[in-house]
Amino acid sequence: MGIYTNPNHVVAFSDGEVRQQFSLCFACKLIGGKILVSGESFEVGFFAREDIEHLNMHPSIRLRIQHYLEHRTQPYVG
The pLDDT tens digits of the residues spanning 7-56 come to 887 889 999 999 987 889 999 999 999 999 999 888 898 999 999 999 99
| Residue 58 clears pLDDT 90, i.e. is over it | no
- How confident is the model at residue 7, as a pLDDT? 85
Contacts of 2 (CB under 8 A, 6+ apart): 24, 25, 64, 67, 72, 75, 76, 77, 78
Contact predicate 69/1, CB 8 Å: no
Q: Which range of residues forms the domain containing residue 64? A: 2-77
Task: Output DSSP code: residue 27.
Answer: -
How many distinct structural domains can be found in the chain?
1
- How confident is the model at residue 71, as a pLDDT? 93
C-alpha 59/C-alpha 8 separation (Å) is: 10
